Structure 1
Amino acid sequence: MTAAPAAVRRRILADLTPLRASADFRRLWFGNTVSWIGQGMTSLAISLQVYDLTHSTFSVGLVGLCSLVPLLVFGLYGGAVADTVDRRKLGLASASGSAVLSATLAAATFAGFHHVWFLYAIVALQAVCQALNAPARSSMIPRLLPPEQLPAANALSSMTMTSGTLVGPMLGGLIVGLWGYQAAYLIDAVTFGAALYAMWRLPAMLPDRKQDPAGGTGRASVLDGLRFLGTRPNLRMTFFSDLCAMVLAHPRALLPAVASLWYGGDARTTGLLVAAPALGALLGGVFSGWQGRIRRHGLAVLLAVASWGTAVAVFGLTRDLWLGVAFLALAGFSDTVSMVFRNTMLQAAVPDEMRGRLQGVFIVVVAGGPRLGDFVAGSVADLTTPAVAVTGGGVACVVAVGLLALRWRAFAAYDARNPTP
């Protein structure tokens, strides 16, 4: 009687096989989860401290800009570095840099050194460390696990990122309220110890430089990476499809206005709407056991992006708060599904010596797409109405990804058993 429910749980809930199969991946996953929560605490604490010093929401908004610009500038460069040096050492160095920066924040706050320019500088340097760390870390995963376990590994990694987004700020607000900014910064610095230990226990991760699939100079240059991407339509489609969702149908910037105009709510209503996609994304990771059995990864991406657009479009039509929250959560769930298969394709279909650079492009798209989407949504809403911007954006996303699927039909036929870039 108990075997059947256990089998059902294995089919539905997150597949933990990568954690059981690889001690290196298990340590890396745990270390990243802990450090992501710490970074979420610091992110909120810095925003609160900037507002406390300036009483300006514009100044708080600049925190995001100080993070975005280095991510865009150094994302591609970080990928090239990851394809040149030992990725383990790069991960150690960049994570150590982030830990030192958090410790510096704590020391400065303990010393009473309260300057907004200093906080902006720390945020920018943290983004540089992240731009160097993320391609190295993502490029390691295919070296630690067999290809069939990559979807499960990416689903687990999505839970790490979402936990940091949800749990980190909540803990940060609690800790800042009880013990001040310095406590949040200090805890963040300490949590990096888990990530550093995981990196330190890894074997050497030198890129495989046996061949040059870009047909370029043999050096790990950004241009060679872009040249390689330009000749691989399936890999390009992973980025194009994500841009359809993030640029055309990203309603985050409109949620404060939506909370007031549609639901007659306040800041708490806005917070609920903002949290809904993150909660859906977390559920997408928790209930991801089925994803390991999917072989048509390209088709799964197309359906997930279309589901995102459809959920956003319906959200724009509803005026019931809880129904709106449900559709935003569905959008977040769909985004996780898309991310899992897109990242798996980038890891499985890309030669090892190119993985860092393609992960660098991934960072640029993931960091820049939603910001561009905020601009598009805000501009369309100013010219028309928030309802037109939200629903129209969702419809545009579905139409755009459908046209892309017709243009590059091989993407829908992509088979994980024969990964073709």
Structure 2
Amino acid sequence: MKQVGRLGRQFGVLWSASAVSTLGDGIVAAAAPLLVTSLTRDPVLVGLAVFVQQAPWLLLAPVSGVLVDRVDRRRLTVAMNAARAALTAVLAGAVFAGAASLPLIYAVGLLLGSCAALGDNASSALVPAVVPSEQLPHANSRIFAAYSVLNKLCGPPLGAALFGVAAGLPMAVDAASFAGAAALLSMLRLLPRDEPAPPAADAPRLPMRRQLTEGARWLWGQPAVRTLTLALCLMNVTLIAGFSVMVLYAREHLGLSAFGYGVLMASGAVGGLVGAVLAPRLQARFSSSVLLRAGLVLETLTHVGLALAGSAWVAGLVLAAFGVHGAVWMGVDRTLVQRAVPSELFGRVMSVFMALAVGGSALGALIGGPLARAFGLTGPFWFSAVVMAALTLFAWRPFSRSIDDHEPAGAVPERAAVAN
């Protein structure tokens, strides 16, 4: 396999596995809501399908952090991808057989969410395990670029088109993508400093409860990471509150077809591609605190724009702008966390980080449906705009220059000129 830029052969393997699975996920991202709405148009039941896939993070993420720090992270990621392949294949078979039902969709979603809570934590630790610290912004940018193209741009229209051919076809493709990712990750080799070393025979193992609290204690003691984590949690509440009923918003409020819904979901990828290209340059030019503050404002305006949008063109432009913001924000927060967290605590800290972040998504999915039922399909976006405006005011000062302390010295030579 050829090297990916200067990031090396092993990053190429990791990038390829991520690209394969993210395409499959993008296909199902459009097809799964269409499958649910073929069975019900109740916004609460539609939102519940999103909630059950996010809920396992609340219970399993802390345990997964301890597990990730105890076992071979690569093997755990491979195992979870294989399990997700099997589960998605079961759902595909049920759809092909005409036996799909809401309880089955909820059950498979719950199990897939459980695999994600275990596997994604381990997967997030693999990037700094194959890429040196100074190259993390470029590595994260390339992974997010693939995510934007395959998951957001190509996946949703393809998923909607495949759903039109056969409802079970998108799930079958997703199952194959997980199997392919598992095969690729089985070939991955980590940097020597991140190869798991066997514990000494006489080395005491800390109790599970103590290990569970170590990650939370470390995170709470780091103001920059703590502020970022709490903000991201609330941002996910507001984001998923609206996006959990996006399929109904697109089809009933904007009047789009199933394929039009897939195209609308893909519009954010255009902005995501631009953001992925700009992210490393913006991180070199501006402080993280400036980029994070700008992100808060842009996310607030996203919800206002979607609430006011009366046509698919306007909604598509808003989602494209959101894609730029999302790519830049992800580049900043991932790089900051990857640099700040000690390798030996990475799994436990990331489990707390992800539990709060995805827990926010779960809460958003739980409230999005009732808000849409009570106030109409734009209700969740108005709610999110108000909450994001309050968060922007609250987090503006904490997102100060102290958040930049985790950047390596000399990484941003232009910073002094920009600050002045």
- Please classify the TM superposition score into its range, dividing by the shorter chain length: 0.7 to 0.9
> Whole-Å Cα distance in 2 between the matches of residues 281 and 317 of structure 1?
22
Unmatched runs of 5 consecutive residues or more in structure 2: 200-204, 411-420
Q: Cα–Cα, structure 1 residues 91 and 274, in superposed 2: closer, same or farther, change >3 Å? A: closer
Does residue 146 (structure 1) correspond to residue 132 (structure 2)? The answer is: yes
Superposed, 1:18-417 pairs within 5 Å as 19-42=5-28, 44-52=30-38, 54-55=39-40, 57=42, 59-108=45-94, 114=100, 116-162=102-148, 163-181=150-168, 183-203=169-189, 206=195, 217=206, 221-248=211-238, 251-252=242-243, 265-268=254-257, 275-291=266-282, 293-294=284-285, 296-313=287-304, 322-323=313-314, 325-373=316-364, 390=381, 393-394=384-385, 397-407=388-398, 409-417=400-408
Q: Deviations over 1:18-37 (max 9, x none)?
A: 65422111111111111122
Superposition CA RMSD, Å: 3.9
Per the TM alignment, residue 317 of structure 1 is displaced from its structure 2 partner at its CA by 6.1
Q: Cα–Cα, structure 1 residues 178 and 342, in superposed 2: closer, same or farther, change >3 Å? A: same
> Whole-Å Cα distance in 1 between the matches of residues 117 and 298 of structure 2?
30
Q: Deviations over 1:334-374 (max 9, x none)?
A: 12211111111111110012212232233333433245446
> Whole-Å Cα distance in 2 between the matches of residues 313 and 78 of structure 1?
36
Q: Deviations over 1:248-291 (max 9, x none)?
A: 57644686897799xx7423587776554454334322444514
Q: Cα–Cα, structure 1 residues 134 and 254, in superposed 2: closer, same or farther, change >3 Å? A: closer
Which amino acid is the alignment partner of residue 21 of structure 2? S
Q: Deviations over 1:212-245 (max 9, x none)?
A: xxxx947672221111111111111111232453
* Percent of pairs with identical residues: 25
> Whole-Å Cα distance in 2 between the matches of residues 282 and 67 of structure 1?
27
Q: Cα–Cα, structure 1 residues 109 and 308, in superposed 2: closer, same or farther, change >3 Å? A: closer
- SS of alignment partner, residue 126 of structure 2: helix
Unmatched runs of 5 consecutive residues or more in structure 1: 1-15, 211-215
Q: Which moved more, 1:113-122 or 1:137-146?
A: 113-122
> Whole-Å Cα distance in 2 between the matches of residues 150 and 279 of structure 1?
23
Per the TM alignment, residue 104 of structure 1 is displaced from its structure 2 partner at its CA by 3.1
> Whole-Å Cα distance in 2 between the matches of residues 255 and 198 of structure 1?
33
Per the TM alignment, residue 376 of structure 1 is displaced from its structure 2 partner at its CA by 6.4
Per the TM alignment, residue 110 of structure 1 is displaced from its structure 2 partner at its CA by 5.7
Number of residue equivalences: 395
> Whole-Å Cα distance in 2 between the matches of residues 51 and 384 of structure 1?
20
> Whole-Å Cα distance in 1 between the matches of residues 162 and 358 of structure 2?
28
Which amino acid is the alignment partner of residue 149 of structure 1? Q
> Whole-Å Cα distance in 2 between the matches of residues 50 and 273 of structure 1?
18
Which amino acid is the alignment partner of residue 299 of structure 1? V
- SS of alignment partner, residue 21 of structure 1: coil
> Whole-Å Cα distance in 2 between the matches of residues 391 and 190 of structure 1?
39
Contact 1:209 1:353 in 2 (8 A): no
| TM-score using structure 2 length | 0.77
Per the TM alignment, residue 82 of structure 1 is displaced from its structure 2 partner at its CA by 0.9
Q: Deviations over 1:304-330 (max 9, x none)?
A: 223322454466567676455433422
Which amino acid is the alignment partner of residue 235 of structure 1? V
